[in-house]
Chain A
Amino acid sequence: MAAEPLLRVEHLCQYFGPVHAVDDVSFSVMPGEVFGLVGESGCGKTTTGRSIIRLYDITDGSIWFKGQRIAAGTLSCRRRIADARRRMRGASPEERTALAAEIAEARRQLREAVRDHRSVSKDLLTRIQMIYQDPIASLDPRMTVYDIIAEGLRIHGERSKETIDGKVYGILDRVGLTREHAHRYPHEFSGGQRQRIGVARAVVMQPEMIIADEPVSALDVSIQAQVINLLSDLRHEMGLTVLFIAHDLSVVKYFSDRIGVMYFGRLVELAGADELFAHPLHPYTRALLSAIPLPDPLYERDRRRIVYQPKPEAEDAALREILPGHFVRCGAAETESYLREAEA
């Protein structure tokens, strides 16, 4: 993997008051790759996606897209400044010089973060589009399908009716709907068709990256399969890069190249999809995988679920590479035992 990642998330933190919804999450997604994000309800998957498309001003960390910083938080800079100021008191003259330099450096970084965060180009941000979980709630019931799909193009400054017509009808056809559908309203469609409308609305902008937040969770199995096949075709045709969020682990495994497992706002394990399922290392991942029911009654009769018993984290806990490409969140002292487990 010599290429540059398309998306790089670095130490992302998103706090809502006391709730650390996303806490020190780092990962990158390569061009054309599907990166899956899994974990239990409330662990911060949606918040991660929404932070990337800048629905929030992130608390800390940086998000890089196509080599540009598109979001930056300032908490750690502000902390460094406050900390240095505190240590100023009672410091020797030499120490004071060092601390002053530290404050100046943190200030510079803070200014840079604010500047990058504010000056990001709208054009660049439209290269990332999101598909939402709930096909009913995410479509405005008073807008026709045509207007829903055209909205983004118009906001983006497209005025020519001809161009918009061409794009809207083209994309409808591409997602398996027809021209006749364009002038109907969302409630006239089935769940699977509505999710196609959501997909059309996102891909009509010709994004390079799609964030799909539980795109098939609300659909029944056979319709789920239609939408997964559609996403998979579009991915290959348009060379899309995808951040795929879901709690159905079979769907994530099927669709993703690499998978990150989140627990309480933190990324606890990251590995290739096959590797993660074959050799889960973090106890939370093991518990999560052991809870998946498989469509096999005899297997189910004997399946033993592992219950996760959270332990306090090591002081220096961080995502550490145990085997090439396989990361686990742990302290430095724990890497040895993970390595032994991985090799067993």
Chain B
Amino acid sequence: MPNQSPILKATDLTISFRTPSGLVRAVRGVSFSLAPGETLAIVGESGSGKSVTCKAAMGILPGNAVIDGGEILVDGKDLLRLPEREFCKMRGRKIAMVFQDPLSSLNPIMRVGKQLTEVMRLSGVPAAEAKQRALSLLAEVGISEPERRYRQYPFELSGGMRQRIVIAIALAANPDILICDEPTTALDVTIQAQILELLSRLKRDRGLSMIFITHDLGVVANIADRIAVMYAGKIVEEGTAEEVFYAPAHPYTWALLSSMPDLDTRDRLDAIPGTPPNMVAPPKGDAFADRNPYALAIDFEEQPPAFPITETHWAATWLLDPRAPRQQMPAALQERIARMKARREAQSHGR
């Protein structure tokens, strides 16, 4: 996959917000690419810039946002500099987005069917055909009795059904890229599992490329081909799902993976001490240094470059500098990874 030319490529994306307390440096030089048919998960601390990055790609940044630099290339066009009129043609058709809260992205007083056909009608599809397509979309996202649902209002549906409708609307104009911002956070495990299965199926059947934001590392493991870890407006580590879960290299990734409870132990959780930095005046060096027990003196002085680990895996931490002392990941995390391996082996023997 990495050898295919990317369907979306972000380079050095830099975005700030004008606020009463100054310019908030929300995204500080983010670069990534998305291969056709691939799912890239973006994980990271709350406030690290995940949503802002995706909103930039959708051309829906709020009015107080300032694009300080960079580009997002899709089909040779830079989305950051596209006039709104042209962006309208891309939105929905090339790239679409699903948000966390299905209620807020549906119009409460418009029937489901109307909301589905609206996008198609705007692009000139005749009414009868739009309805047929909408019904088959409802069926495709696993909604039973599509005819009846077509005539219902959002409040008449359960949370899981609403989120399917939102996904159906996002797919209505047949996009190549789907951006999902915490699409399952508000749902319980069973419904979440159904939505994840739906997305995997769409990815397989339609060859959809996805950017997927979530806090839930289980969901990430389930859906991601590659993972980008963000902290304080930067990607600090990127790699395939297996690389990031089994051989994480950035101390923030270590902290993130260690902080979630796992099913096997009741050891005290390794919560990350302190709070994220103030992004009006971001720290000079590595933004995680203050909270990083493995920080070196240079972390407080200078931002680390991206150190390659494999062809697909890199991390921006001075610990990977050849001159740095060798630092293993925390023992508890090593044990956790070993336990996961043991469970997998037990399972495949049991089969």
Contact = CB atoms under 8 A, between A and B. Distances in A.
Interface centre among A42, A191, A297 (most CB of B within 10 A): A297
29 contacts: A40-B191, A42-B158, A190-B46, A191-B46, A221-B256, A222-B259, A222-B271, A224-B259, A225-B259, A225-B260, A225-B269, A226-B272, A228-B269, A229-B269, A247-B189, A253-B261, A254-B261, A292-B218, A293-B218, A293-B222, A295-B221, A295-B260, A296-B340, A297-B241, A297-B245, A299-B343, A299-B347, A300-B221, A303-B222
Contacts of A41: 158-159, 187-188, 191
Interface of A: 40-42, 190-191, 220-226, 228-229, 232, 247-251, 253-255, 277, 287-288, 291-300, 302-303, 305, 308
- Tell me whether chain B's interface is mostly helix, strand or loop, or mixed: helix
Given A220-B46, A295-B218, A295-B245, A250 B191 contact: no
B270 interface: yes
Contacts of A287: 190
Contacts of B93: none
Contacts of A300: 218, 221-222
A298 B188 contact: no
A297 B220 CA distance: 8
A282 B224 CA distance: 32
A251 B261 contact: yes
- Tell me whether chain A's interface is mostly helix, strand or loop, or mixed: helix
A278 B245 CA distance: 24
Contacts of B219: 293
Interface residues of B, number: 45
A293 B190 contact: no
A302 B261 CA distance: 22
B349 to A, nearest CB: 13
Contacts of A221: 215-217, 256, 259-260
A293 B197 CA distance: 12
A305 B193 contact: yes
Interface string B129-161: 000000000000000000000000000001100
Contacts of A249: 189
Interface centre among A190, A221, A232, A299 (most CB of B within 10 A): A221
Given A248-B189, A302-B347, 19 more contacts: A40-B191, A41-B159, A41-B188, A220-B46, A220-B215, A221-B216, A222-B271, A228-B271, A232-B268, A247-B188, A249-B189, A277-B263, A291-B193, A295-B257, A298-B344, A299-B221, A300-B218, A300-B222, A305-B193
A308 B270 CA distance: 35
A89 B45 CA distance: 71
A288 B159 CA distance: 17
Given A295-B220, A299-B340, A222 B189 contact: no
